[in-house]
Amino acid sequence: MPKQDLILDPAEYDLDRVIADIEQIRRYNPQRYEMEQLTAIVYEDPERQICVGYKDITPNEFWVRGHMPGMPIMPGVMMCEAAAQLASYYTHKYKLLEGAVVGFGGLENVRFRGVVRPGDRFVIVARLLKLRRTIMTCQFQCFVRDVRVCEGILKGIPLPADLGQASSAPAD
């Protein structure tokens, strides 16, 4: 694939040089258990606003049994979720939305170009394109080995600080 097409040349990051493991990721991302879609962060460049992370796909992923029996492939929505978690990690770590937890605001121009299976290392590269007080926009590209399997634009929005508290609204 042409290098000008890439957010970041793979020669610029080392997948074996972990700068944030799952415990460090958990300091910034609230997802736990089956919804944790990052294994490690391996590259951060605050000047260019680029971050690289990966998810090691195991045979124990919650979707393996049912998507699709006998031919387990990572659902596209989970690929997008992994990219969103990388963008959220970066945004929260660098307090780009005033340190808020970031929620999905939208997806644009998403393309799936390959499959991800148990045993694969799913690499995500994200670059911040635009930042406003109420929304951030990132470009992302995802790879297995040297093959681009997914790409698109995602938008993140700051979630209310009290979102985790029980609702005070009366039940119907």
DSSP string, 76-107: HHHHHHHHHHHHHHHHHHTTTTTTPPEEEEEE
Active site residue 92: no
Mean pLDDT computed over every residue of the chain: 92
Amino acid identity, position 64: V
Average pLDDT over residues 45-59: 98
Residue 33 lies in a domain: yes
Residue 165 lies in a domain: no
Residue 149 lies in a domain: yes
Show the domain range for 140. 3-158
44: closest CA among 92, 109, 3?
92
Residue bearing tokens 């039940």: 171
Q: Which of 24, 26, 30, 67 is catalytic?
A: 67
Model confidence pLDDT, tens digit, residues 140-167: 999 999 999 999 999 999 987 666 665 5
Residue 36 lies in a domain: yes
Q: How many domains does the chain have?
A: 1
Are the C-beta atoms of residues 31 and 45 closer than 8 Å to each other? no
CATH number where 143 lies: 3.10.129.10
Residue 151 lies in a domain: yes
pTM of the model: 0.91
Q: What are the residues whose beta carbons fall under 8 Å from the beta carbon of 46, sequence distance 6 or more? A: 94
Residue 101 lies in a domain: yes
Model confidence pLDDT, tens digit, residues 103-124: 999 999 999 999 999 999 999 9
Are the C-beta atoms of residues 79 and 116 closer than 8 Å to each other? yes
